[in-house]
């Protein structure tokens, strides 16, 4: 595949290496420095775009790929307030997009088990649930996209929780959640690639369900596999569509 890489930062550089190892060409690199010079014509020869840029830049990049009729994989987080609007544009215009808050296989298994665990815990009201995420200090968004996906999986199955609230520890006042609110506690520590924990706590015990990324390689490999999976498809997809945990 000829890949247009949008965002050439920590993730973009690892995706470049993994895509080459899998026999693909990085035919175009779009970064903040040259973004203003890139037009629809530059994307014509590409098979797919992979965007790992910034929460602020993602929407414009998606719209450029739509204009060029170029299928794209979006790993960037922090733009999900616009998700419904983008989905509508994608489907109405017969475009192709796959997005995901986390492309690692381990986290996608975690998302699945998280929902099963929430279903199992729902009758036991003596347990309160919260989500914790730890990421490096360069991260622009809080909570992480992965933590939001985890929280949505819990809210769908725990009757007492109807929305999430975020506490970015060390920034502003401590957030104390109301009974119906699911707390997502965010920590920013040096170079941590990404750790997510779901905790169910009662007076007598605690259940901890945790995923720790040792590096960014799992995210990058998943994004390249997603770009391969998207070839020949049309429509709006989530990364979870790539997995069948019931088969
Ligand atoms: N879904 C997943 O599995 C994962 C998602 N992510 C998400 O991916 C995103 C990128 O992460 P990461 O690589 O660590 O971040 P980095 O900050 O290392 O890289 C982002 C890159 O995007 C560039 N950029 C800025 N503006 C634009 C623009 N308008 N168009 C194109 N590129 C632009 C930046 O350039 P400059 O440095 O010059 O500003 C930088 O090179 C984040 O939102 C993160 O949360 C991260 C890991 C896994
Ligand atoms: O910014 C990061 O680094 C990461 N972002 C994604 C997120 O917001 O969930 C995925 C991963 O945790 C790393």
- Read off the CATH number of the domain in which 167 is found: 3.30.360.10
- Report if residue 66 sits inside a domain: yes
CATH of the domain at 52: 3.40.50.720
Our count of domains for the chain comes to 2
pLDDT in the model for residue 140: 96
Is 247 a member of any domain?
Answer: no
Residue nearest to atom 1 of ligand 2 (CA): 139
For residue 106, which phi and psi values (nearest 5 degrees)? -55, -45
- The set of residues, in sequence order, having a beta carbon less than 8 Å from that of 35 and lying 6+ positions away, is 57, 61
Structural domain includes residue 12: yes
CA dihedral 84, 89, 91, 93 (to 10 degrees): 180
Which pLDDT score is estimated for 104?
97
Q: Which pLDDT does position 247 carry in this prediction?
A: 61
* Whether residues 151 and 187 fall in one domain: yes
Residues 36 and 56 in one domain: yes
229 and 202 part of one domain: no
- Judge if 121 and 201 occupy the same domain: yes
- The answer on 170 and 96 residing in a single domain is no
Which ligand minimizes its atom distance to the CA of 32?
1
Which residue owns the Cα nearest ligand 2 atom 4? 194
Q: Report if pTM > 0.90.
A: yes
Q: Is the CB of 219 under 6 A from ligand 1?
A: yes
Would 72 be classed as within a structural domain? yes
**Quick one: which ligand is closest to 139's CA?**
2
Q: Based on the domain organization, do 122 and 84 belong to the same domain?
A: no
139 Cβ neighbours under 8 A, 6+ residues apart? 188
What 3-state class would DSSP assign to 214? coil
Is residue 85 lining ligand 1, measured as CB closer than 6 Å? no
Residue 134 falls inside a structural domain: yes
Q: How far apart are CA 189 and CA 139, in angstroms?
A: 10
Query: Does residue 129 share a domain with residue 188?
Result: yes
Q: What is the pLDDT of residue 108?
A: 97
Tally Cβ neighbours within 10 Å of residue 197. 17
φ, ψ at 66 (rounded to 5°): -60, -45
Per-residue pLDDT at 47: 98
127 inside domain: yes
The parent domain of residue 191 ranges over 105-212
Same domain, 173 and 227: no
29 in helix, strand or coil?
A: strand
CA of 222, closest atom in ligand 1:
3
For residue 2, the cross-strand partners are 25
75 is in an annotated binding site: yes
Residue 99 has a pLDDT of 98
List residues bridging with 237 in a β-sheet. 98
**What's the pLDDT score for residue 246?**
75
What pLDDT does residue 245 have?
86
**pLDDT score recorded for residue 134:** 98
pLDDT means over runs of 10, the chain (247 residues)? 98 98 98 96 96 97 97 97 98 98 97 97 98 98 97 98 98 96 98 98 98 98 98 97 85
Ligand 1 centroid to Cα of residue 159, in Å, is 36
């Amino acid at each position: 595949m000829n890949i247009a890489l949008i965002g050439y930062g920590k993730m973009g550089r690892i995706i470049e290496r993994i895509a080459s190892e899998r026999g693909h060409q990085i035919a175009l690199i779009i970064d903040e420095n040259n973004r203003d010079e890139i037009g629809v014509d530059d994307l014509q020869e590409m098979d797919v775009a992979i965007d790992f840029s910034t929460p602020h830049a993602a929407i414009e990049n998606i719209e450029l790929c739509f204009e060029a009729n170029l299928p794209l994989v979006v790993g960037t987080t922090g733009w999900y307030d616009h998700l419904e609007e983008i989905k509508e544009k994608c489907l109405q215009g017969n475009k192709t997009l796959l997005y995901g808050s986390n492309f690692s296989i381990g986290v996608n298994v975690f998302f699945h088990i998280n929902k099963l665990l929430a279903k199992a815990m729902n009758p036991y009201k003596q347990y309160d649930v919260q989500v914790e995420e730890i990421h490096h200090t360069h991260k622009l968004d809080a909570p992480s996209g992965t933590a939001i996906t985890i929280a949505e999986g819990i809210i769908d199955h725990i009757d007492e929780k109807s929305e999430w609230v975020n506490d970015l520890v060390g920034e502003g006042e401590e957030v104390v959640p109301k009974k119906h609110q699911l707390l997502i506690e965010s920590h920013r520590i040096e170079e941590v690639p990404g750790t997510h924990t779901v905790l169910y706590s009662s007076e007598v015990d605690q259940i901890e369900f945790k995923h720790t990324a040792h590096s960014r390689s799992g995210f990058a490999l998943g994004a390249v596999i997603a770009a391969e999976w998207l070839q020949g498809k049309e429509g709006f997809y989530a990364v979870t569509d790539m997995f069948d945990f019931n088969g």
